[in-house]
Amino acid sequence: MSEQGGRDIGRMEFLLTLRRRGIGDQAVLRAMEEVPRADFVEPGFIETAYADQALPIPCGQTISQPYVVAYMTEQLALRPHHRVLEIGTGSGYQAAVLSRLAREVVSIERYRTLAAQARERLAALGYINVEVVVGDGFAGCPGKAPFDRIIVTAAAEEVPNALLDQLADDGIMLLPVGPHNGPQRIIRLTKSITAAGVEVKREELISVRFVPLLPGQAQEL
Ligand code: SAH
């Protein structure tokens, strides 16, 4: 069988696994089908690009497991007019999936190397509604706030307040919260601004394992 044929079978299994694990939103499944994960992994991992596992990327980081990308995307309840902020660009894969479902994605990465690679990759694939910014995700992107949706793809010990401030009325923010090497859970925060003030509903979702959200822009490349 040709290498391409082998990869196509990998991609069919990829979608079946997502469905089997409970991803039911057709638009999310279509986005997962459309974005070629093989283009976001390192050359040595192309053969396992469609396996449901996290894989290493440069700077000691990881591209998230496809199920977790699909799950978080589904839980964001994206609409085509939404503006989304992502913290932790990494390979750019999650940003690419978001870009298929929202109007605009701003993604912040603390490593210049990862940001530059992701920017190049996203442009080459034609995902023109993603802007990759080098910076500290703890500060968010106040110049472009408010955002309809915020997704953090690195684990924080606590919810960063600056991000919650940059969430629009009726906005949803998803983030993994927990100790760096311990149990983490995806938290969903829903914000509503009423005459009485700001209300935030907090829900605990699935258990996960993410790399840590680290303070400041990286001094290394
Ligand atoms: N969403 C990525 C996976 C990211 S892994 C993908 O689809 O490939 C988490 C990323 O968060 C890493 O690249 C890490 O460098 C970045 N990160 C950690 N702390 C950060 C911070 N404070 N600001 C911006 N990026 C951060």
- Residue range 162-209, pLDDT digits in tens: 999 999 999 999 999 999 888 999 999 999 999 999 999 999 999 999
The reply to whether ligand 1 has any atom less than 6 angstroms from the CB of 88 is yes
- Above 50 in pLDDT, residue 116? yes
Q: Which of 30, 27, 1 is nearest to 14 (CA)?
A: 30
Q: What is the mean pLDDT of residues 90-96?
A: 98
- Above 60 in pLDDT, residue 2? no
Please choose from 63, 67, 86, 89 the residue to mutate so as to test ligand 1's pocket, defined by most ligand atoms within 8 A of CB: 89
Side chain identity at 26, as an amino acid letter? Answer: Q
Q: Which of 65, 58, 78, 87 is nearest to 18 (CA)?
A: 65
Least confident of 1-10, 16-25, 160-169: 1-10
pLDDT of residue 20: 97
How many whole angstroms from 56 Cα to the centroid of ligand 1? 12
Q: Is 64 a catalytic residue?
A: yes
Mean pLDDT of the chain: 95
Report domain extents, the chain: 3-208
pLDDT of residue 181: 85
- Above 60 in pLDDT, residue 3? no
Please choose from 97, 114, 213 the residue to mutate so as to test ligand 1's pocket, defined by most ligand atoms within 8 A of CB: 213
pLDDT in tens, 132-151: 999 999 999 999 999 999 99
Identify the band that residue 71 occupies on the pLDDT scale cut at 50, 70 and 90.
Answer: very high
Q: Which CATH superfamily is domain 3-208 in?
A: Vaccinia Virus protein VP39 (3.40.50.150)
How many whole angstroms from 100 Cα to the centroid of ligand 1? 20
**To the nearest whole percent, how much of the chain has pLDDT over 70?**
96
pLDDT of residue 1: 45
The Cα 29–Cα 163 span in angstroms is 28
pLDDT of residue 28: 98
The reply to whether ligand 1 has any atom less than 6 angstroms from the CB of 85 is no
The reply to whether ligand 1 has any atom less than 6 angstroms from the CB of 113 is no
From 64, 91, 99, 107, the catalytic residue = 64
90: left (phi over 0), alpha (psi -120 to 50) or beta: left
Kindly report the protein residue whose alpha carbon is nearest to atom 18 of ligand 1.
Answer: 213
The reply to whether ligand 1 has any atom less than 6 angstroms from the CB of 107 is no
pLDDT of residue 12: 87
pLDDT of residue 13: 93
The reply to whether ligand 1 has any atom less than 6 angstroms from the CB of 111 is yes
Three-state DSSP at 34 gives helix
How many whole angstroms from 2 Cα to the centroid of ligand 1? 35
- Above 60 in pLDDT, residue 6? no
The reply to whether ligand 1 has any atom less than 6 angstroms from the CB of 149 is no
- Above 70 in pLDDT, residue 8? no
- Above 50 in pLDDT, residue 210? yes
How many whole angstroms from 137 Cα to the centroid of ligand 1? 8
